[in-house]
Amino acid sequence: MEKHRGFPGRLPGTDFQFVIRRPNKGGATRIIARERFQDRRPADKRADTGFMKALWLCFGEKAFVRGNLDAGRISWLFEREVLPAKDPFDPEDYEAVLRINVPVARANFPEAFADEEWP
């Protein structure tokens, strides 16, 4: 499992996790597309924005390996702002390659692209 050095471990000041410390013994947690409803809590929306910002600052438009990125956090963005970069895509593989769908991500999280530095 590739560890993304320099990627924030969590949203500052919260317990919203962005990375995992070690691989699961039973294999990688499956990435699924989760629906984001309009009535989500503001804290959850901030976590999505913070994660999107961290992805952008760390990887930009380049494809990246899932590695130690948290599957639950990716799932909130999957198949909208984050897409598979290679076919076939295995959602239960730590070596799965993803990329940011920049136009959709900019439209849905404009504040994540507002400045180029992590708070």
Residue 10 inside a domain? The answer is no
d(CA 20, CA 43): 20
Name the band, by pLDDT with cuts 50, 70 and 90, for residue 115: confident
pLDDT for the residue 26 = 82
User: Considering its fold, how many domains does the chain have in total?
Assistant: 1
Domain range holding 72? 42-112
Torsion of CA 61, 23, 119, 98, to 10 degrees: 10
For residue 50, what are its two tokens? 């913070």
Residue 24 forms part of a structural domain: no
How far is CA 44 from its chain centroid?
A: 13
Beta-carbon-side half-sphere exposure of residue 100 (alpha carbons within 13 Å): 21
Q: Give a yes or no: residue 1 inside a domain.
A: no
* 12 occurs within a structural domain: no
pLDDT at 118: 56
